[in-house]
Amino acid sequence: MFDRLRNSRWFWKYRHLWNPKWTEGYKNLNAPHRKVLVEAILKHNPKFILEVGCGAGANLRLIHELSPYHRLSPHSELDGVDINPKAVKVGKKWNGDFALITIGSFDDLGPGDSYYDVAFTDTAFMYARDKVKALKELKRVAKKVILYEWETLIEVL
- The string of pLDDT tens digits covering residues 126-153 is 889 899 999 999 999 999 999 988 677 7
Q: List the one residue out of 13, 117, 23 whose CA is nearest residue 61.
A: 23
Residue ranges making up the domain that contains 70: 2-156
Give which of 105, 101, 145 is closest to 127, Cα–Cα: 105
Q: How does pLDDT run across 40-80, given as a tens digit for each residue?
A: 999 999 999 999 999 999 999 999 988 877 666 777 899 99
- pLDDT for res 72: 62
| Domain tally, the chain | 1
For position 8, which CATH number holds? 3.40.50.150
Question: Closest Cα to residue 54, out of 89, 21, 20?
Answer: 89
- The pLDDT value recorded for residue 22 is 58
Contacts of 93 (CB under 8 A, 6+ apart): none
